[in-house]
């Protein structure tokens, strides 16, 4: 169930969608890159045309043609701040793109230690290629994340049988358990509290009767 609201009129609308998840034809993409688009809201990148334009811009940097969008997330869900009510301010969108081919040298240089050091100084990171996202998408290169995901090995599950005993394999019930002697435990459980209570009664009687003034 999808619940949407109108930012201007504050009206809400709900719609129930049935989503069918199918595995990718070639499996999950092992090379994934996540870009932070600073001049877009999340609803602006949800249409297919906008995502296709973003993939075309990504292909110019990635130097691959098998790119596909894995996830689109608002920057507010990642701890981003609500933009000021000024014309042109956007929330920001994280777009994760995957490919079966390795990263290009341009993307690798953008996440190098030298680039991270320049980002900490407030400077632009190193980039050895032309920014193909401009002017439609403003990428914050200091927030670029490159991931290399390999499929985890699956452990074989249990092998289920037919549920019918083999011929000659009769049921063997467990052997009889020898009887336990419960009398010592019963006496300890009963006598120890009684002895403690008797001692407390004697002590209390001694204090109240034999320690009174004049006795």
Note the pLDDT tens digit of each residue in 98-140. Answer: 988 888 888 888 888 888 888 888 888 877 677 788 888 888 8
pLDDT tens digits along 1-16: 888 888 888 899 999 9
Write down the pLDDT at residue 165: 62
pLDDT tens digits along 132-178: 888 888 888 888 899 888 766 666 667 777 666 666 666 677 777 78
Q: Is residue 124 part of a domain?
A: yes
Write down the pLDDT at residue 214: 61
Q: Is residue 180 part of a domain?
A: no
Q: Is residue 2 part of a domain?
A: no
Q: Count the neighbouring beta carbons within 10 Å of the beta carbon of residue 126.
A: 16
pLDDT tens digits along 52-65: 999 998 888 888 77
Q: Is residue 115 part of a domain?
A: yes
Q: Is residue 23 part of a domain?
A: no
CA distance 89 to 10: 19
Q: Is residue 71 part of a domain?
A: yes
Q: Is residue 131 part of a domain?
A: yes
Is residue 90's pLDDT more than 90?
Answer: no
Average pLDDT over residues 195-211: 89
CA distance 98 to 114: 25
Chain Cα centroid distance, residue 122 = 30
Q: Domain total for the chain?
A: 1
CA distance 197 to 190: 11
Average pLDDT over residues 186-213: 88
């Amino acid at each position: 169930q999808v619940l949407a609201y109108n930012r201007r009129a504050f009206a809400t609308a709900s719609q129930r969608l049935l989503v069918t998840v199918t595995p990718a034809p070639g499996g999950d993409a092992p090379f994934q890159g996540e870009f932070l688009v600073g001049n877009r809201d999340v609803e602006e990148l949800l249409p297919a045309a906008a995502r296709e334009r973003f993939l075309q811009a990504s292909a110019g940097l990635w130097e691959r043609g098998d790119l596909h969008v894995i996830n689109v997330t608002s920057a507010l869900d990642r701890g981003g701040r609500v933009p000021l009510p000024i014309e042109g301010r956007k929330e920001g969108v994280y777009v994760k793109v995957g490919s079966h081919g390795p990263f290009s040298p341009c993307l690798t240089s953008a996440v190098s230690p030298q680039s991270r050091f320049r980002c900490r100084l407030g400077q632009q990171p190193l980039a050895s290629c032309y920014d193909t996202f401009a002017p439609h998408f403003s990428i914050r290169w200091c927030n670029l994340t490159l991931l290399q995901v390999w499929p985890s090995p699956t452990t074989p599950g249990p092998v289920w049988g037919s549920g019918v005993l083999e011929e000659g394999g009769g049921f063997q019930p467990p052997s009889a358990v020898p009887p336990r002697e419960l009398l010592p435990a019963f006496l300890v459980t009963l006598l120890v509290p009684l002895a403690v209570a008797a001692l407390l009664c004697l002590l209390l009687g001694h204090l109240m009767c034999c320690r009174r003034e004049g006795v």
